[in-house]
Amino acid sequence: MKLATDIGGTFTDLVYLDETTGDYFLAKSLSTPPHFSRGIMDAIHKSDLDPGAVTGFVHGATVVINALTERKGARTALVTTEGCRDVLEIGRANRPDIYNMRFRKQPPFVPRELRFEIAERMNYKGEVVTELDMRTVDTVAKQIEAEACEAVAVCLLHSYANPDHELKVAARLRELLPNVLVTASSEITREWREYERTSTAALNAYVQPVAAAYLRQLATSLNEEGIEAPVDIMKSNGGTSSLDFVAEQPIHLVESGPVGGVIGAAALGKLIGEPNLITMDIGGTTAKCSLIENGDYKITTEYRIERDDRSAGYPIKAPVVDIVEIGAGGGSVAWIDVGGALKIGPRSAGASPGPASYGLGGTEPTVTDANLIAGRINPDYFLGGELKLDLAKARAAYQPIADALGVSIEETAIGVIRLANANMINALKLVSVRRGYDPREFALIAFGGGGSMHAVALASDLRVGKVIIPVAPGHFSAFGMMMSDAMQDYLLTALTSSVEESRGRVGTIFEDLESQAIDYFLAAGFDRGQIELIRSLDMRYNGQEHTVRVRVPDGELDFETLNDQFHAAHEKAYTFRLPSGVEIVNYHVSAVVPTTKPALAELPPGTGQPPLKSTRTVDFDTWGILESAVYERTDLFPGCIFHGPAIIEEAAASTVVPPGVRGTIDPIGNIVLTIGDEA
């Protein structure tokens, strides 16, 4: 039996799956910040499972992102090459908020008094320009001790090319400061650009004491429960690593939570034959979307936390699943700006006080309240009836906005839904149209508490013909974690001309990266035969700055084929190709040990029409206000056909099926909606 847990701001979700039967079970418990492992144990207790039968445990942790956003990490020092003390604070010097003449850069995670320089220098070829003066390291160690730092990051110039000095400094600091956790930048990434690498190392050091303690606590608690299965932790790259590894490099957990849904979508797509998917995860505070092409999700290496149109954010050079997140979720608040225009979010009423209709003290009108007024949510069946929604409170919250706009409450509610959809469409366009993809070649998979309510409207606007609402959309992230593979990424910057003469160098670099990958997995107890190695290269035209990632074909390397692939990829991303030389910037080895993917049990097919639960009046916006069929999701069976206008209710979600949309249930229980001509 395999277990996965996903911790959200409000709930801790647990999914466990019997690998022999394909049956799975769900549990939810309240999250228990800051001691999240208690919430996990609560969910385990709720689900009444046999600890001895647990063979695998996958966990998506929010401890790292929380420590970063709440600035609750360790007192951290930074050691750099002479002349580079201020690199972390200068950043890239950009001003995203371009008309703000009082713009303030976000402060660095390590203040200047804790940033120390040592005497040494490499050049970009990895040759020593100035020998490492170990006495300067010893002096710095004393200062770090005197400053009572709990963690230290070391990032020296050109350590991506030759980490020798950096590793010597880290070793010396570990020896002199046994109680201080030490991060060397090259242990996490061998990519160039000193600010980005320094930031990555500094953030890793900053969260390491907190994350390591959390992970140890989790391991202990599981042990006490009698669960002895190995613990795998969900990383931002969509794969898992051992607990020991992420305790050393916790920065890989920064998007540990949100990636689950994307992995789940990719895995589900493979099961049901939908290799091209746009994912939409609508939660309480945000909506997140991403794109899956030919079964593969996209990875970004340009990730930054706290970046938006007014802030530069902090770069983390670790591979992260490419997700676009916007501040439009169920709890997002509707408001009128000073010019009299209606706006939504990014502020959210969150889980507490929550939307006005929750009756938990919230008085502000939210998207959830609008969906309730429009008849799209059953007030008596929210969270399976656990929370009774108060329509009168939702209406009262919208009264002032309706008055200001001079329209009815009902019109206001549908207008808010329309605006929220417009915001989400823009995010969906960012991952699709803006990156050269035609949405019509994709299906939309929607999950999270709000996904299924907005999905068809979004799909129609994007001209997507098919919408999939997976089973248990509220638990989908945890489900996805269970489908993830063990995965390690190894990256190295080494400028190389992409020509036949480079064959030897390219081979040597890849072999070196691969042996690191193999060493990791062998040490983790896997066999060589289980390890899949994927080579790719970040390439560009000579003299360009931006690169395009190209997967290296298996077998003997053929530079002509490789360059052809690059030209094609460049044309896809940037619409043109150049007749100029090509060079390699980064080498990348992704090592994967696939887990056995449990086959999901098929539901018994039925015949005839699904039973009607009830009917009610629902506002379908442009499709009109209509008397709508209401179905209970568990009453629907594979092969059944239903048509909009309809609402499908389940404990944690409500699916809106407008007129002209045809629905069915696939053999494993997903709702499949077809829009437009084929419906």
With binding defined as CB under 8 A, does residue 399 bind another protein?
Answer: no
Torsions phi, psi of 363, nearest 5? -125, -5
Asked if 256 and 193 touch (Cβ cutoff 8 Å), the reply is no
Query: In the complex, what is the shortest distance from the CB of residue 63 to another protein, in angstroms, rounded to a whole number?
Result: 30
Phi, psi of 593 (to 5 degrees): -115, 105
Residue 125 exposed, middle or buried by CB count within 10 Å (0-12, 13-18, 19+): exposed
Please pick, from the candidates 21, 23, 72, 90, the single residue that binds another protein as defined by CB under 8 A. Answer: 90
Site string for another protein, 411-440 (x = CB under 8 A): x--xxx-xx--x---x-------x------
Closer Cβ to another protein, 99 or 627, answer by number: 99
Q: How far is the CB of 389 from another protein (least distance, A)?
A: 23
- Identify residues 600-619 at the interface with another protein (CB under 8 A): none
Find the binder of another protein among 20, 179, 294, 575 (CB under 8 A). 575
Is 593 one of the binding residues for another protein (CB under 8 A)? no
Q: Is 119 in the site for another protein (CB under 8 A)?
A: no
Q: Which residues, 185 to 224, sit near another protein by CB under 8 A?
A: 192-196
Task: For residue 86, state whether it binds another protein (rule: CB under 8 A).
Answer: yes
Which span (209-217, 382-390, 530-538, 574-582) binds another protein, by CB under 8 A?
574-582
CB 13 within 8 A of CB 44: no
Under the criterion CB under 8 A, does residue 339 sit at the interface with another protein? Answer: yes
The verdict on 150 binding another protein (CB under 8 A) reads: no
Please answer whether residues 204 and 248 qualify as being in contact, where contact means their C-beta atoms are separated by less than 8 angstroms.
no
104 touching another protein, by CB under 8 A: yes
What is the C-alpha end-to-end distance of the chain, expressed in Å?
39
Of 90 and 522, which CB lies nearer to another protein in the complex structure? 90
How far apart (Å, rounded) are the C-alpha atoms in residues 583 and 496? 6
Give min distance, CB of 453 to another protein, in A: 17
- Rounded distance between C-alpha atoms, residue 592 and residue 353, angstroms: 43
Instruction: Assess contact for 543 and 582: CB atoms under 8 A.
Output: no
Give the C-alpha separation, 310 to 326, whole Å: 14
Cα separation, 210 vs 274, in Å, equals 40
d(C-alpha 261, C-alpha 291), whole Å = 12
CA distance 217 to 214: 5
Q: Which of 160, 447, 490, 620 binds another protein (CB under 8 A)?
A: 160
In this structure, what token pair is assigned to residue 269? 């797509």
Q: Judged by CB under 8 A, does residue 124 bind another protein? A: yes
Does 113 bind another protein (CB under 8 A)? Our answer is: yes
85 binds another protein (CB under 8 A): yes
Tell me which residues in 515-544 interact with another protein (CB under 8 A).
543-544
* CA torsion through residues 311, 312, 316, 320, sign: positive
Residue 597 binds to another protein (criterion: CB under 8 A): no
Among 129, 392, 499, 599, binds another protein (CB under 8 A): 129
Buried b (16+ CB within 10 A) or exposed e, 296-314: ebbbebebbbeeeeebbeb
166 forms part of the interface with another protein (CB under 8 A) = no
Q: Which stretch binds another protein (CB under 8 A): 58-66, 68-76, 282-290, 572-580?
A: 572-580
Nearer to another protein, 4 or 419 (CB): 419
Shortest distance in whole angstroms from residue 668 CB to another protein:
37
Assess 84 for contact with another protein (CB under 8 A): yes
Q: How far is the CB of 341 from another protein (least distance, A)?
A: 6
Classify residue 377 by burial, with Cβ atoms within 10 Å: 0-12, 13-18, 19+.
Answer: buried
Q: Which of 34, 96, 226, 400 binds another protein (CB under 8 A)?
A: 96
CA distances from 267 to 255, 479, 594, 598 (A): 18, 10, 12, 11
Torsion of CA 431, 435, 438, 441, to 10 degrees: -60
Total number of residues binding another protein (CB under 8 A)?
Answer: 66
SS3 304: strand
Answer whether 658's CB lies under 8 Å from 652's CB: no
Q: CB under 8 A: which stretch of 56-64, 84-92, 372-380, 560-568 binds another protein?
A: 84-92
The interface region with another protein, picked from 23-31, 89-97, 201-209, 648-656 by CB under 8 A, is 89-97
Give 450's Cβ-side CA count (13 Å radius).
27
Binding residue for another protein, selected from 33, 574, 613, 651, defined by CB under 8 A? 574
Which of 157, 222, 370, 459 is close enough to bind another protein by CB under 8 A? 157
Of 71 and 104, which has the nearer Cβ to another protein? 104
Nearer to another protein, 182 or 413 (CB): 413
Distances in Å between the Cα of 207 and the Cα atoms of 169, 183, 355 are 21, 11, 33
Contact 301, 317 (CB under 8 A): yes
Residues that bind another protein (CB under 8 A): 82-87, 89-105, 111-113, 123-125, 129, 157-158, 160, 192-196, 310, 337-342, 405, 407, 411, 414-416, 418-419, 422, 426, 434, 495, 543-546, 573-576, 578
